[in-house]
Amino acid sequence: MARRQYRLTQFARRSEIRDSKEHIVASVSHANQSRVVIRATGERFSVARSGNQIKENGETPIARASFSGVYDLLGQDATLQWKPLSFWHGVFGWSHADGTVVMRYVPAGCGKYLVIVEQPAFNELRLVALGAYFLKLTGTDFVAWSAVAASINIV
pTM of the prediction? 0.83
Burial call 125-144: b when 16+ CB within 10 Å, e when fewer? bbbbbbbbbbbebbeeeeee
Q: Give residue-wise pLDDT tens across range 8-43.
A: 999 988 999 999 999 999 999 988 778 899 998 888
Amino acid at site 109: G
How high does pLDDT run on average in the chain?
85
- Distance from C-alpha of 75 to C-alpha of 78, rounded to nearest angstrom: 5
Q: What's the whole-number mean pLDDT along residues 60-64?
A: 88
Q: According to CATH, what is the number of the domain 5-151?
A: 3.20.90.10
- Quote the pLDDT of residue 145: 56
DSSP 90-140: TEEEEEETTS-EEEEEEE-STTEEEEEE-S--TTHHHHHHHHHHHHHHHHH
